[in-house]
Amino acid sequence: MSRVSGLVPSRFLTLLAHLVVVITLFWSRDSNVQACLPIRFTREEYEKRDLELLAALSVTLGLFAVELAGFLSGVSMFNSTQSLISIGAHCSASVALSFFIFERWECTTYCALPAVTEVALFIAVFGLKKKPF
């Protein structure tokens, strides 16, 4: 049981770290939008890229809500497989998004693996009435 109890705070901290990086990206998205555009760009191109990044970040926040709901409701809190997937994905995403902010990387796609596995657990627990582990 000590192994599982060590995963719970680690998962919570990586979730919050990733959430903080995404919120920081909301505040500093101007420089990242400019990095996605050529040197000479029009206002319409800028607005289009800004809207794309804003939509991706909004979807990311929505998926955070799904994962935090699953975690805080207890559906997946003590599932070690889900915790390991979530810790690995959110830790690597936090590092990658930190580089995305500070290095002004071009626009990239986001991975929704932790939220997809969380939704699968929700369906299994509430829809199929299965035990979460």
Q: Where are the domains of the chain?
A: 2-127
Query: What is the rounded CA–CA span in Å between residue 108 and residue 73?
Result: 31
Quote the DSSP letter at residue 107.
P
pLDDT tens digit sequence for 28-62: 888 888 888 888 999 999 999 899 889 888 888 88
pLDDT for 1 equals 47
CA separation for the pair 5, 97 (Å, rounded): 28
Q: Say how many C-beta atoms besides its own lie within 10 A of residue 19's C-beta.
A: 17
Residue 126: HSE in the Cβ half-sphere, 13 Å Cα cutoff = 11
Q: Which residues of the chain have pLDDT under 70?
A: 1-5, 108-119, 121-122, 124-133
pLDDT at 19: 92
Two structure tokens written together for 10: 């680690």
Q: What does pTM read for this prediction? A: 0.76
- Let me know the angle formed at the C-alpha of 52 by 48 and 58, rounded to the nearest 5 degrees: 140
